[in-house]
Amino acid sequence: MTARQPLDVGRVLTTLARHDVRYVVVGGIAAILHGWPGATADVDVLGAFDADNIARLGAALGELDASGEGWDGDPGTLGSATAWSLDTAAGPVDLLFVLEPWGTYDELRASAVEIAGFGVTIPIVSLDDLIALKEALGRPKDLRVAIELEELRRHRDG
């Protein structure tokens, strides 16, 4: 795959679900699913880092025709790095096994929330964790999103 495809969040998430991948959506799509009115160009996924899940991720990425620097299509290759920026037939996917500066799938899954969408159950990072992640990243765009997410939380808890 050479040309970057437009983002099809539903296709990415239903493919992960069909392959029983253990993951949590983080980043912009998580913010949107929590009600943030912004936009993003990719899906950020924090995956469980174990052999079975890596194999399932590899199969899902194969179905999505994933390509990217260092990715040779072999699921075993996924374990050689903690972050992958991939282009897929359903748009850009950032696959992470460690979410700096926060932690791993196991650390974020316990407080994640599940929502229904696209005919599947979608695990997303909790709003509290997402705000903390955005603040910890400290980039101007992340700090702006953190402020907007704080406002959403205030209205929700309100």
The count of C-alpha atoms lying within 13 angstroms of the C-alpha of 138, restricted to the half-sphere facing its C-beta, is: 4
Q: What is the predicted pLDDT for the residue at 135?
A: 92
Entry pTM: 0.93
10: tokens are 């539903």
Distance CA 60, CA 21 (A): 8
Domains and CATH numbers, the chain: 9-127 (3.30.460.40)
Mean local confidence (pLDDT), 62-86: 92
Q: For CA atoms 30, 130, 86, 20, give the dihedral sign.
A: negative
Q: What is the predicted pLDDT for the residue at 103?
A: 85
What is the per-residue pLDDT across 93-112, written as a single tens digit (0 to 9) for each? 999 999 877 789 999 999 99
